[in-house]
Amino acid sequence: MSRSPGRKQEEHKISRELFVLTYGALVAQLCKDYERDEDVNACLDRMGYSIGIRLIDDFLARSAVKKCRSYSETADMIAQVAFKMYLGITPSVSCNSAAGNEFSLILDKNPLVDFVEELPAERASLCYCNILCGVIRGALEMVHLAAEVSFLQDRLKGDAVTEIGITFLRKPEDRKHKRN
């Protein structure tokens, strides 16, 4: 029996929609379980971190990327390969520091909020997509890159764009390992 050519895209779309709806239900349940938005944000970050430390193996195996030589190369790899591979989007990257260790990922479209119109007023400090920060942080840690990752702007909170900030915590020369 042959498959129609559009079948794979349809399955991908269904699984993406299922993921987005399931994610929304997860966040809704966390909001019921925790009174404070900060606790929900921390829980989402921890979940994302756990996903990131496991996802990096899949990413490295499926993408066959070479070792990045700079922080800017790493930020580009996250945006152009990882986001495209797992979320189907390609954020733009901008460097935010002269030292070259702070970057922003600007998301024109965030698939995790496809079915979310706006956050309720009582949840103003909720970072709905905080799981993404944890995923990035966990994946980077597994390749020995310590980083702080946080949302700088969020369309769900009325900002013009959705922006994720990545700050690498070590100088590039600290990353080199000495051989005995």
Distance CA 176, CA 136 (A): 21
Identify the structural domains of the chain with CATH numbers, from first to last. Answer: 16-118+125-168 (3.30.1380.20)
Q: Are 104 and 94 in contact (CB under 8 A)?
A: yes
Q: What is the mean pLDDT of residues 126-130?
A: 96
Per-residue pLDDT for 180 more than 50? no
pLDDT tens per residue, range 71-112: 999 999 999 999 999 998 999 999 989 989 999 999 999 999
Q: Are 142 and 125 in contact (CB under 8 A)?
A: no
Entry pTM: 0.86
DSSP codes of every residue in 112-164: GGTT-----GGGTT--TTHHHHHHHHHHHHHTT--EEEEEEE-GGGT-SSEEE
Ranking 2-11, 27-36, 71-80, 168-177 by mean pLDDT, the lowest is: 2-11
